[in-house]
Structure 1
Amino acid sequence: MTSIRTRKLVRRSVLKGLGATAALAVFPHVRRASAAEAIEQASFEIAGVRDPQLGAQLAIAEHYGYFKDEGLTVTIHWNQSGADTLTVMAGGSQPIGVGGAFTQIVFSGQKLPIRAISALADIAPTQGFALSPDVKLTSPKELEGKKLAWTQGNSQILILAKLAKVYGFDMKKVTLVNMNPSEGVVAASKGDVDGLLGWQPNLYRLIQLGGTMYTTATTNYMSGKPEEYSFADRLQYNNSLLHAAQDWIDHKPNTLKALLRVVKRATETINADRANALQAMQKILRIDPEPLAVMAGANQYGMAIDDKLITTIEFVNEWALSIKRIPNPVTPEDALAPELLAAVDPSLVTWKPKAKS
């Protein structure tokens, strides 16, 4: 006959199991990890950027506690630009960060052991060109002889180069005046220059001051109404990326996979629940609601490592070579590490690296 003590132990064990099952039902993002999937390092730092083009998913994850749901304790160091990510990751002070495709091309071009483990957003729609108040063009050829504000070292120059190629004007006859973005907005609004070659929300701010949008990398406004370019005809290709040190890719893959699950959940929040996503971004990124909505609305958030991302890598590589920012070409295989994202969600990785010869 089973003893009373034995029956109590069995009952306690069953209730404990039911309790765990109930917890998983209530908290669907709680995962049971096998020993092989155990997180190697739960606490770590990330180089973030206070910009919805780069830092949106991190902001949402921090605000809504997604890191904790995956068993992670993450400290985000919020920076002002992707250039800061270059500095801190290159120096080895932070093993993970967010940045643009150009950031990754520089890492790989300088042979630094850092690769991108996922995309974050297609940010080309936020890059563009706005005209100053009272400036009207009947043709892009009329840009010859005009002055444009521009921030040196940024890839919006490629938008002007593509316009020159498509419409047959001499880009050398356009005067580029190097200014920081806020100076460019003011100069363009006063008519000191004829337009601003830049990115959101600076284009939006100029438009609020009476300027007009002329084109973005993905949409043509020259006729007065927006006409989207085909992907092949875009004026520029650009993506934000999640970067990780190669040592972590090799030796802390489960930690990075947990992080990718966090980013995936945050990406889903952006695309399915924009109101709550914007609320989190406004609080964490400290951006006013109107320009934030413009920037977030222009970005196309997604993590896929696919042929479109490869186009961006190749496009930015060519530009970095042309300005001598890197000494040698960077291949997608140099820049990307798709295996961790493929383990988290195989549907997000459709590009396959070339086998090493």
Structure 2
Amino acid sequence: MRSPTKRRRHLLAGLVAAALALTSCAIGGGSGGEEAGGPGAPATLRIGYQLIPNGDLIVKDQGWLEQALPDTKIIWSRFDSGGDVNTAMLSGAIDIGLAGSSPVARGLSAPLNIPYRVPWIFDVIGDNEALVVRKGITSIKELAGKRVAAPYSSTTHYSLLAALRDAGLSESQVDIVDMEPPDIQAAWQRGDIDGAYVWTPVLAELQKTGTTLITSRELAERGTLTADLAVVRNEFAERYPDVVRVWLQQQDRAVRLARSDPQAAAAAIARQLGITPEEAARQLGQLILLDGEQQRSAGYLGTPEAPGRLAETLRRTALFLHEQKKVDAVPGLDVFRNGLGTRELADAFAQ
């Protein structure tokens, strides 16, 4: 869900074209359109979502945005990866989207330099991404000389290298191979790999016969945070601050529902994913959800006066991507601090 494939890119081309055509008909262009939805509101709000069991799917399922913005048409477009969301942002096909921290770090770096900002953290990736190895391997240090798979430039690739580093292993000491999740599952079944750092649902298949050495939840507790982030185009955020405020409040509402009534939250997610409520509850429980107050803390987005450590996390991720030759240059920390939508977050939850 966080590393694009050729098939996904072909699907994206059609989706972007369709979204642009729809936008043109509805609001006369890809820049957010005329304020036909009422004072300070656009005629349409175009959202790029992914099938990740977090609060965004709850908001979509419950129709809260449609209720809160009755004069604005809400267009939900599904994407399969953060890379696809970046492409749609560059084309002007969506106003708000979901992308993993690795794609966002890439988007804020050269050559993309996407004019967007991060006003919300959908989730801190937890137990839904993990390093699974063959039975008999009991520590990360034992991976020296072993063959381990991960999709390159994804959040799991980043997490794998961090886990190796923490264990005292260099990248060169492990045979790391670039594979997409379906290929990882096939290679695991054939016995071609000794381990993989991957996400659900392939993760769950590997865990049936393998051993989990570390999860992204544990890495986050050690300071290596990966997350699913919201991105909003700068132009849209500046033109329609009230809409962004309403959007943020609905996301916070979803997090609070997940805490106060997890069964209702799981049922909403189950409908969106086409799975049982029990499985939806299990997947939801693997993520770390943060409410608006938590997101304003120093460890995450922070405040306009004191941007949070998410900026440092994004820059470290960008440095990793530069090593992987996925970005041409890594900007200074101020670029990533300016890329945090702290003003929008503060306005949405002003006392």
User: What TM-score results when the alignment is normalised by the length of structure 1?
Assistant: 0.75
1:255 paired with 2:246, answer no
Which whole-Å CA distance do the structure 1 matches of 2:97 and 2:174 have between them? Answer: 36
Aligned residues of 1:95 and 1:244 also touching (Cα < 8 A): yes
Helix, strand or coil at the partner of 1:75: strand
Aligned residues of 2:315 and 2:330 also touching (Cα < 8 A): no
Against the structure 1 CA distance between its residues 138 and 269, is the aligned structure 2 distance closer, same or farther, given a 3 Å change threshold? closer
Against the structure 1 CA distance between its residues 62 and 157, is the aligned structure 2 distance closer, same or farther, given a 3 Å change threshold? closer
Aligned residues of 1:123 and 1:300 also touching (Cα < 8 A): yes
Segment of structure 1 superposing worse, 100-109 or 256-265: 100-109
Which whole-Å CA distance do the structure 2 matches of 1:346 and 1:65 have between them? Answer: 24
Match of 2:303 in 1: none
Match of 1:264 in 2: 252
Match of 2:216 in 1: 217
Helix, strand or coil at the partner of 1:218: helix
1:284 paired with 2:282, answer no
Aligned residues of 2:46 and 2:94 also touching (Cα < 8 A): yes
Task: Decide which of 311, 317, 328 is 2:309's aligned counterpart.
Answer: 311
Which whole-Å CA distance do the structure 2 matches of 1:136 and 1:255 have between them? Answer: 53
Letter in 2 for 1:154: S
Match of 2:286 in 1: 298
Letter in 2 for 1:259: W
Q: Bigger radius of gyration, 1 or 2? A: 1
Match of 1:45 in 2: 46
Task: Decide which of 328, 345, 348 is 1:344's aligned counterpart.
Answer: 348
Segment of structure 1 superposing worse, 332-341 or 249-258: 332-341
Which whole-Å CA distance do the structure 2 matches of 1:171 and 1:337 have between them? Answer: 34
Letter in 2 for 1:214: L
Note the C-alpha offset of 1:124. 4.2
Match of 1:323 in 2: 321
Which whole-Å CA distance do the structure 2 matches of 1:289 and 1:187 have between them? Answer: 30
Task: Decide which of 89, 101, 118 is 1:116's aligned counterpart.
Answer: 118
Aligned ranges for residues 1-357 of structure 1 at < 5 Å? 38-41=39-42, 43-52=44-53, 56-72=54-70, 73-109=73-109, 110-132=112-134, 135-208=135-208, 210-219=209-218, 231=221, 233-234=222-223, 236-287=224-275, 292-302=280-290, 303=292, 304-309=295-300, 310-324=308-322, 325-326=326-327, 327-331=329-333, 332-346=336-350
Aligned residues of 2:262 and 2:281 also touching (Cα < 8 A): no
Letter in 2 for 1:113: P
Aligned residues of 1:149 and 1:188 also touching (Cα < 8 A): no
Note the C-alpha offset of 1:184. 0.7
Letter in 1 for 2:119: I
Structure 2 unaligned residues grouped into runs of 5+: 1-37, 301-307
Against the structure 1 CA distance between its residues 168 and 68, is the aligned structure 2 distance closer, same or farther, given a 3 Å change threshold? closer
Give the aligned length.
Answer: 294
User: What TM-score results when the alignment is normalised by the length of structure 2?
Assistant: 0.76
Which whole-Å CA distance do the structure 1 matches of 2:279 and 2:149 have between them? Answer: 20
Structure 1 unaligned residues grouped into runs of 5+: 1-36, 220-228, 348-357
Letter in 2 for 1:316: L
Letter in 2 for 1:119: I
Against the structure 1 CA distance between its residues 70 and 42, is the aligned structure 2 distance closer, same or farther, given a 3 Å change threshold? farther
Aligned residues of 2:133 and 2:213 also touching (Cα < 8 A): yes
Note the C-alpha offset of 1:195. 1.0
Letter in 1 for 2:287: N
Which whole-Å CA distance do the structure 1 matches of 2:168 and 2:198 have between them? Answer: 22
CA shift digits 1:74-128 (9 cap, x unpaired): 1110112222211111111111111122233223223322111122111144332
Note the C-alpha offset of 1:38. 4.8
Letter in 1 for 2:94: Q
Against the structure 1 CA distance between its residues 91 and 154, is the aligned structure 2 distance closer, same or farther, given a 3 Å change threshold? same
Aligned residues of 1:156 and 1:197 also touching (Cα < 8 A): yes
Q: Give RMSD over aligned pairs.
A: 2.4
Which whole-Å CA distance do the structure 2 matches of 1:329 and 1:308 have between them? Answer: 21
Letter in 2 for 1:191: G
Aligned residues of 1:105 and 1:335 also touching (Cα < 8 A): no
Aligned residues of 1:207 and 1:213 also touching (Cα < 8 A): yes
